Amino acid sequence: MGAKLVKHIKVIEEGGNVLEIKIWELPAATGDKPHGLKYSLVYVVDGVRVVGYDNAEGKGDHRHYRDTEKPYEFRGVDKLIDDFYRDVRRFRR
């Protein structure tokens, strides 16, 4: 059995910007996904990712904001989504 999609939100804003959240539950935890989740949260403006949270294979939990990438301390799905929306609001200001 593969990963199961447990949350998917996609919003295309009036100007064409895209906000998308995808969270999958894995069949088992792995070394780089000890919480048993795979996720990708992204905000794309004019075709460019300006905010992103993900745990791509081999990279572990990390966060993108503008041109920077930093490790992210995963503390649950609700906190992940809150942190993502906080960064999106910050970018929009």
What residue segments make up the domains of the chain, in order of their start? Answer: 4-92
Structure tokens at 45: 């403006």
Task: Determine if the pTM surpasses 0.75.
Answer: yes
Residue 49: what residue type? R
Answer yes or no: is pLDDT of 32 > 70.
yes
State the pLDDT confidence band at 73, using cuts at 50, 70 and 90: very high
Cα 66 to its chain centre, rounded Å, is 14
Note the pLDDT tens digit of each residue in 33-48.
Answer: 999 999 999 999 999 9
Structure tokens at 70: 């930093």
State how far the Cα of 15 lies from the Cα of 22, in Å rounded to an integer: 22
Answer yes or no: is pLDDT of 56 > 70.
yes
Answer yes or no: is pLDDT of 1 > 80.
no
